[in-house]
Amino acid sequence: MDGEKQVGHRIDAQALWRQLQGWARELGFSQIGVASPDLSSAEPGLLAWLDAGFHGGMGYMAAHGLRRARPAELVPGTLSVISARMDYLPRDLGAAARGADDGSGVDWIAAEAAAQADPQRAVISIYARGRDYHKVLRRRLQTLAERLAAAVGPLGHRVFTDSAPVLEVEIAARAGLAWRGKHTLALAREGGSMFFIGEVYVDIALPPTAPVQAHCGSCSACIAACPTRAIVAPYRLDARRCISYLTIEHEGPIPVELRAPMGNRIYGCDDCQLCCPWNKYARRSALPDFDVRERFDAVTLLELWRWDEAEFLRRTEGSAIRRIGIARWRRNLAVALGNAARASGDARIAPALAAALPAADGLLREHIEWALAQAPAQACAQVPARVPAQVPAQVPTQVPTQVPTACQAASQSGIEAMPSSVDSETRPAA
Ligand code: SF4
Ligand code: SF4
C-alpha cells in the first residue's frame, strides 16, 4: 500500500461510513470503528510487558517488536485501521445443561459455573467450542474490505484477526469499540467481553471514531477470580501463569504449582470473564459457525481421554482446538484428570491414566505420573505402575487444592452487581 488517499476527495466520508456499518452488520459484526495507525503512546507499555518476560514462550510477541504498535511499518501505506467486533456466545450455549435444542434463555454463566464445579467435566473455553474463529472472521473481514474497495476504487488493505503483530485491544479501544478491562481483555458496555476482534488495515484515511470511557471503576472481580493469580495487577497479565497460555500456547511441561489451580480447564479459561459484571450483557451470536460442536459444552474428561490422535484430528476438524495438537491436548487432559481423581475419588480415572503410560512420550508420561499421584491410594490399588519418587505426590502447599470457581470467587469478593462506580447512566439497557 502506498500513496496517500483521502476518501473525502472522491466520496462523502459520512455516507461511506454508513455503508460500511451496514455491510459490517450484514456480515455478522456487531460494531466497527476506525483508529489512526499512530499507536506510539502504547509502545512503553508493550516494551515493559515484554521486558518483564510476561509473554513467556510466545517468542513471536518479542520478535515483532514495536512493529506491533506501528501498523504503518507492518503494512506500509496504512492510513487507517478498521476495528470490528463479533460476538461469539453460541446460540445453543447452555442447551446441554437443560437438555434443550436451543440455549437461548438459559443462564449461561450459571451453566458454566456448574461445569467448573463438576470435576469430571472437561471445561473448554466458550470461544473455542464452535468453528475456528480465525476462519470465520478472516473471510468476513476480507469481504468487508472488498466491498469497501468496490466503493472507493483501488484499495490497499490487509486483514488480521488474533494475529501476533497487531495490538488488537489497543486498536479496539482507540476505535471506540471497547475499553481495556483490568483483566486486559477488551470490554464493551453493550457486549461484555465475549467477542472476537479483527482489523482491516487500509490505505485510505477514514475519519477516526471516538474512544469510549472505561467502566471498570473500583471492581476487581477478575483479579480475585483468577485461579492462578495471573493478573498480577490491574491491566497487567503474566501470561506465564495464565491457564489460557498454559493450555494453548505453552509447549512444555505445565509448572507443577499451577496444575491444581487448572482444575478441569483443558483448553483456555474463561474465569476472569465469567465473573465480570459486564458479561450480563454479552450477546449470543447470530451465526451458526459458533454453535457448539462435539458436545464441547458437556463432554467429560474420560470421554476425551479415550480419543486417539486420529479421533482428535477428526473431531477437531475446522476447530481452533486442532491447532494445539494431540501432545498438548493429552498433557492438559492428564492434568485435569489428576485434579478430578483428587477431587472426586473416581476409581475409573487411575486405571485409564495408567493404561496410557506405555505409549506415552516423556512429556505426557511425567504428567500422567503426576496425575496418578493425585489419586487417592485406594483408587490406585489396581494400577501396576506407581509414581516415581521424583514426582511430587502432593500439590505444593502454597497452592490451594480447592480452587473456587470464577463465580464463587466473585461472590466471595462481594462483587455480584455492577462495579460501584458504574451508575445507571452508564449501564447498558438490560
Ligand atoms: S484466563 Fe484464567 S488464568 Fe488467565 S487471567 Fe483469566 S482467569 Fe486468570
Ligand atoms: S471484572 Fe471488574 S475489573 Fe475485571 S474487567 Fe470486569 S468490570 Fe473490569
What DSSP designation does 248 have? I
Q: Residues with Cβ < 8 Å from 426, sequence gap 6 or more?
A: 189, 213, 215
Angle between helices 362-374 and 325-344 (to 10 degrees): 10
Q: Which residues line ligand 1 (CB under 6 A)?
A: 183, 225-228, 230-231, 237, 242-244, 269, 271-272
Evaluate whether 231 touches 344 at the Cβ level (below 8 Å): no
Alpha carbon nearest to ligand 1 atom 4, residue: 242
CB burial string 374-399: b at 16+ within 10 A, e below: bbeeebbeebeeebeeebeeebeeeb
Evaluate whether 305 touches 349 at the Cβ level (below 8 Å): no
CA distance 63 to 54: 14
Q: Is 186 in the pocket of ligand 2 (CB under 6 A)?
A: no
CA distance 314 to 296: 14
Q: How far is the CA of 262 from the centre of ligand 1 (A)?
A: 10
Selection from 317, 307, 365 nearest residue 122 by Cα? 307
Q: How far is the CA of 393 from the centre of ligand 1 (A)?
A: 26
Q: How far is the CA of 276 from the centre of ligand 2 (A)?
A: 5
**Which pLDDT score is estimated for 404?**
39
| Active-site residue, 162 included | yes
CA distance 304 to 121: 10
pLDDT (tens place) for every residue of the chain, 430 residues total: 443 455 544 568 889 999 999 999 999 999 999 999 988 888 888 888 888 888 888 877 777 777 778 888 889 999 999 999 999 999 988 776 666 556 677 789 999 999 999 999 999 999 999 999 999 999 999 999 999 999 998 899 999 998 767 899 999 999 999 999 999 999 999 999 999 999 999 999 999 999 999 999 999 999 999 999 999 999 999 999 999 999 999 999 999 999 999 999 999 999 999 999 999 999 999 899 999 999 999 999 999 999 999 999 999 999 999 999 999 999 999 999 999 999 999 999 999 999 999 999 999 999 999 999 999 876 666 565 444 433 444 433 333 334 434 434 333 333 333 433 332 333 333 3
